[in-house]
Amino acid sequence: MKVVLFCGGLGLRLRDHSQNTPKPMVLIGHRPIIWHLMSYYAYYGHKDFILCLGYRGDAFKEYFLNYNETVSNDFVLKSGGRDVELMSRDIEDWTIRFVDTGLHSNVGMRLKAVQQHLAGEEMFLANYSDGLSDLPLDAYVRDFEKRDQTATFISVKPNSGFHFVEADAEGTVSAIRSIEDSDHRVNGGFFVLRKEIFDVLGPGEELVHEPFQRLIDKRKLHSYRYDGFWQCMDTFKDKQRLDELMERDAAPWQVWKRARK
């Protein structure tokens, strides 16, 4: 299946760290977070990507046009450095479409802008490009294929340092607990969508607002409860957590590495 990745946001909460770097291009280890996400999909056999570009779309194009495979692959240097023999490769069988979907477009508008590139696809994958997971994608897709619904996404517990506070009208607190310890769940992305999504997606609409509400009314929207690893990169603290996992060689989302062990 084709994989649509929404890459056009401004990433304002990471701007102090990344300056002019679009959030999906912020490095986790030696590669940008979008590379980690694409490698995850490629491991499950989904290597046909559509990048919905917006802010600093040129950064994505330049990165992949000048892609250096020696950064993430073992190699042999010969002839005094003149020849490089790669011992493995990673993106040679990927197909990547770079599509300008507007600087200020929302997710729904970006999806609509690439509809023509999904012609003939009964079902496709889509995702935000700033989150990682070890979700077993093949089992997740098989579960959705059995359902008579139009869209699904993973439902995850938010990993945040914030706390829920319960208080009466006078402000007297009756309970305070970590968000992670509550029963509240959030949309973690990793969408699987049928082509009928475009029947409920109107001009200018945000995907998870009006279109998803129409699917809710028709009982055509599903959420897949997942309690494994999931982490988005909204803040510098989130980036630090992902970097620490990489440094310890304990990055759960790198399913392609676990498969080689």
Q: 74-87: b or e for each residue (b if 16 or more CB lie within 10 Å)?
A: eeeeeeeeeeeeee
pLDDT of residue 212: 96
Average of per-residue pLDDT across 79-103: 83
* pTM score over 0.85: yes
Going by C-alpha positions, the residue among 85, 83, 112, 86 that lies closest to residue 99 is 112
SS3 166: strand
User: Taking the CB of residue 21, how many other CB atoms lie within 10 A of it?
Assistant: 17
Over residues 220-232, mean pLDDT: 94
pLDDT tens string 199-223? 999 999 999 999 999 999 999 999 9
Q: Which residue, chain included where needed, has tokens 């129409």?
A: 214
The tokens describing 26, both together, are 């912020």
By the 8 A CB rule, do 154 and 188 touch?
Answer: yes
Contact 129, 6 (CB under 8 A): yes
Q: Are the beta carbons of 108 and 207 closer than 8 angstroms?
A: yes
pLDDT at residue 125, as a whole number: 98
Q: What is the pLDDT averaged over residues 23-30?
A: 91
* Structural domains of the chain sorted by starting position, each given as residue range(s) with its CATH number in brackets: 2-75+85-260 (3.90.550.10)
From 174, 172, 177, 173, select the one nearest 161 (Cα to Cα).
177
Distance (Å, whole) CA 212 – CA 129:
20
Q: Does the pLDDT at position 261 exceed 70? A: no
Q: Note whether 98 and 5 are within 8 A (CB).
A: no
Name every residue whose Cβ is closer than 8 Å to that of residue 163 and which is 6 or more positions away in sequence: 176, 177, 178, 179
